């Protein structure tokens, strides 16, 4: 099971600002190991963010997103105490879902 | 009569030449300054979303877990301000620990607690000192991230009151200026002057107060080029490697002496790590 | 053929066969892994090297240049191409999606963000650049595509090694 994400969600005016740090190798599949063998691609392919069950962001990623990805976005609505959930799936089928309470 | 005229003419011609040279050099100087400014903007933009936070969270978990053959949590480990106290300890390290009979930095003290309190063998405690990808995470680097984060914002406050500490400081200073290895390098070779760089990397001048403070207070750091959180033991290890010195043993007196010298020289500055670097 | 292998082939599902094939070296590791992918992942879009192919994979026409797409917190020079901060805001009404393309990367598309109604048309992340290149912000708004570019210099390439 992958390491947990670090998520921050704060009310800013009438919106909620979300910042996420994910723990993932995001291997491009371009690198070779010491023996000259290609290190297989291993990267997050889809990211979904929901607020009280409503999708507030959906993303498709390729391996060009940096290792240990950072993501920041903003949506209208959200109040202190509401839940924001971030879920990702990678090309190996590994998944991770974490949630945070809006502060 | 002729000489003063020539002198006058020569001076004005010289001044004109100097002015022309300055104008020619100006675009180059301007371009260099702009590049430095842009890289400073790049570094500032990276500060948000520092992956080091992932190490801090993991480190706190590891610190609190019951581990080793004795199944003890490191919350019993004394890092200098009493068992379990992590807030503010890094700003005071390295320091002399009577129970171990030596001056220790954070990493060597953690190794000591892992072997003495948790009962791990030295081999096990040293198993993955440097992380190598998400498949080979380093518990040590995670703990360093956690403990150092608890000193963020506090002024560096390394003491030399104990004679062991004073002695190690003198040793560290000697080491800083010692030149050896196949290239006759010393720390001073790269870090003993202003405006030195390796390719496009500016090198801090560690012999000035300002340089010493800026450098020491930004380690440990998430090194983008490594994709890992790297501690000060790693920094010294890599410096030794780059100088083609013999391998620096992790947690050795040599590494602690240098660390103490550099940490003490940073006294007064606010600690600002874990940081993020290229 | 040994009994164990025969049984495995008889009883194993598709995934197992794939694993066996990969282990036997019949499939390159990269190929085997690329088979497994998140539901709805547009593989074709992440396999393109030029704008024309990218637009075909995304199902759109040639994008129009737009001054209403703004880069923020995106420096002109990145010290390390492995981590380049990119921030994009679209001021085009009815923005549905924002994609980040890196012109000179081995594959152009880095990320595609779908913006549901109620979400600000602005995203910020970090991408890898193999070399100095234009970063393109590709916006889909009201069914049409728009693009803006920013030149970013990289002092150390960030794709391999």
The DSSP annotation for C11-66 comes to H--HHHHHHHHHHTTSS-HHHHHHHS--TT--GGGGG-SSHHHHHHHHT--PPEE-
Looking at chain C, the whole-number percentage of residues with pLDDT higher than 70 is 75
pLDDT in tens, B107-127: 999 999 999 999 999 999 999
Of the candidates B35, B39, B224, the beta carbon closest to that of C82 is on B224
Which of A5, A8, A62, A82 to mutate to probe the C interface, most C CBs <10 Å? Answer: A62
Which pLDDT score is estimated for C29? Answer: 39
Which pLDDT score is estimated for B176? Answer: 98
Euclidean distance between CA atoms A43 and A24, whole angstroms: 7
Backbone dihedral angles phi then psi of residue C127, each to the nearest 5 degrees: -130, 165
Question: Which residues are paired to B73 by β-bridges?
Answer: B66
Q: For residue B131, count CB atoms less than 10 angstroms from its CB and return exposed for 0-12, middle for 13-18, buried for 19 or more.
A: buried
Of the candidates B49, B133, B134, the beta carbon closest to that of A21 is on B49
With CB atoms and an 8 Å threshold, state whether A42 touches C122: no
Of the candidates B41, B45, B225, the beta carbon closest to that of C80 is on B225
With CB atoms and an 8 Å threshold, state whether C38 touches A32: no
Which pLDDT score is estimated for B20? Answer: 59
B239 among known catalytic residues:
yes
* Chain B nearest CA to A48, separation (Å): 19
Q: Which residue of A has its CA nearest to C118?
A: A76
Which of A38, A44, A61 to mutate to probe the C interface, most C CBs <10 Å? Answer: A61
Of the candidates C29, C102, C160, the beta carbon closest to that of A40 is on C29
Q: Please name which of B61, C123, B199 lies closest in space to residue A61, comparing C-alpha atoms.
A: C123
Catalytic, out of B77, B113, B187, B239:
B239
Q: Which residue of B has its CA nearest to A70?
A: B49
Q: Which chains touch A (3 or more CB pairs under 8 A)?
A: B, C
- Give contacts of C 67-106 with B, CB under 8 A: 73-80, 82-83, 85
Q: Would you give the DSSP letter of residue C4?
A: H
ipTM of the complex: 0.96
**What is the rounded average pLDDT of the residues A47-74?**
97
**Token duo for residue C56:** 């075909």
With CB atoms and an 8 Å threshold, state whether B54 touches A70: no
Which pLDDT score is estimated for B72? Answer: 97
Which pLDDT score is estimated for C30? Answer: 41
Euclidean distance between CA atoms B72 and B118, whole angstroms: 5
Which pLDDT score is estimated for B97? Answer: 98
The residues of chain B scoring below 50 in pLDDT are 1-10
With CB atoms and an 8 Å threshold, state whether B54 touches A3: yes
**Token duo for residue B231:** 């501690």
CB C136 within 8 A of CB C101: yes
With CB atoms and an 8 Å threshold, state whether C79 touches B45: no
Q: Please name which of A90, A31, A91 lies closest in space to residue C35, comparing C-alpha atoms.
A: A91
Which pLDDT score is estimated for C13? Answer: 41
With CB atoms and an 8 Å threshold, state whether A75 touches C118: yes
* Chain B nearest CA to C159, separation (Å): 11
Which pLDDT score is estimated for B135? Answer: 86
With CB atoms and an 8 Å threshold, state whether B38 touches C76: yes
> Distance of alpha carbon C139 from its chain centroid, rounded?
14
The reply to whether B227 touches chain C by the CB within 8 Å rule is yes
A12: enclosing H helix or E strand: strand A6-12
Give the 3-state secondary structure of residue C114: strand
- Tens digits of pLDDT across chain C (161 residues): 555 555 444 444 444 444 444 444 443 434 434 445 778 899 999 999 999 999 999 999 999 999 999 999 999 999 999 999 999 999 999 999 999 999 999 999 999 999 999 999 999 999 999 999 999 999 999 999 999 999 999 987 666 44
Of the candidates A3, A21, A25, the beta carbon closest to that of B58 is on A3
Q: Which chains touch C (3 or more CB pairs under 8 A)?
A: A, B
- Give contacts of C 115-134 with B, CB under 8 A: 126
Q: Which chains touch B (3 or more CB pairs under 8 A)?
A: A, C
């Amino acid at each position: 099971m992958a390491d947990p994400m670090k998520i921050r969600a704060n009310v800013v005016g009438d919106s909620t600002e979300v910042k996420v740090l994910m723990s993932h190798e995001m291997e491009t599949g371009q690198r070779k190991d010491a023996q000259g063998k290609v290190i297989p691609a291993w990267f997050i392919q889809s990211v979904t963010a929901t607020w009280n069950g409503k999708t507030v962001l959906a993303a498709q990623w390729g391996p060009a997103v940096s290792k240990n990805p950072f993501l920041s976005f903003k949506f209208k609505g959200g109040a202190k105490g509401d839940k924001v959930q971030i879920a990702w799936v990678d090309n190996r089928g590994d998944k991770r879902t974490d949630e945070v309470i809006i502060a | 009569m002729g000489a003063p005229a020539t002198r006058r003419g020569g001076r004005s011609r010289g001044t004109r030449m100097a002015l022309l040279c300055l104008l020619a050099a100006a675009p180059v100087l301007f371009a260099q300054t702009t590049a430095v400014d842009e890289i400073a903007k790049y570094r500032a933009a990276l500060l948000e979303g520092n992956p080091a936070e992932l190490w801090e969270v993991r480190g706190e978990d590891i610190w609190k877990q019951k581990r080793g053959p004795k199944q003890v949590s490191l919350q019993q480990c004394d890092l200098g301000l009493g068992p379990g106290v992590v807030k503010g300890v890094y700003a005071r390290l390295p320091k002399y620990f009577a129970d171990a009979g030596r001056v220790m930095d954070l990493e060597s003290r953690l190794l000591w607690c892992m072997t003495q309190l948790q009962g791990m063998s030295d081999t096990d405690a040293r198993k993955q000192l440097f992380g190598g990808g998400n498949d080979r995470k380093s518990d040590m680097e995670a703990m360093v991230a956690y403990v150092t984060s608890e000193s963020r914002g506090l002024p560096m406050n390394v003491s030399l009151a104990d004679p062991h500490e004073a002695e190690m400081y003198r040793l560290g200073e000697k080491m800083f200026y010692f030149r050896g290895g196949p290239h006759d390098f010393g720390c001073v070779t790269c870090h003993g002057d202003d405006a030195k760089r390796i390719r496009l990397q500016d090198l801090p001048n560690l012999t000035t107060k300002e340089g010493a403070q800026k450098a020491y207070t930004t380690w440990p750091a998430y090194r983008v080029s490594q994709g890992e959180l790297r501690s000060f033991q790693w920094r010294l290890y890599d410096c030794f490697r780059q100088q083609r010195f013999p391998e620096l043993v992790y947690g050795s007196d040599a590494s602690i002496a240098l660390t103490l010298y550099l940490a003490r020289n940073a006294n007064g500055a606010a600690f600002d790590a874990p940081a993020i670097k290229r | 053929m040994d009994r164990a292998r025969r049984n495995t082939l008889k009883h194993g599902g598709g995934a197992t066969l794939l694993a066996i094939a990969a282990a036997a070296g019949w499939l390159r590791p990269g190929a085997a892994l690329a088979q497994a992918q998140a539901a709805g992942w547009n593989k074709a879009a992440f396999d393109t090297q030029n704008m024309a192919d990218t637009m075909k994979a995304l199902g759109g026409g040639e994008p129009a240049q737009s001054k209403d797409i703004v880069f923020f917190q995106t420096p002109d020079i990145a010290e390390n191409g492995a981590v380049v901060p990119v921030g994009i805001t679209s001021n085009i009404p009815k923005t549905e999606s924002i994609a980040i393309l890196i012109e000179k990367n081995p594959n152009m598309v880095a990320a595609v963000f779908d913006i549901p109604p109620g979400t600000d048309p602005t995203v910020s992340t970090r991408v890898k650049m193999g070399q100095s290149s234009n970063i393109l912000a590709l916006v889909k708004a009201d069914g049409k595509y728009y693009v803006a570019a920013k030149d970013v210099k990289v002092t150390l390439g960030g794709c391999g090694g």
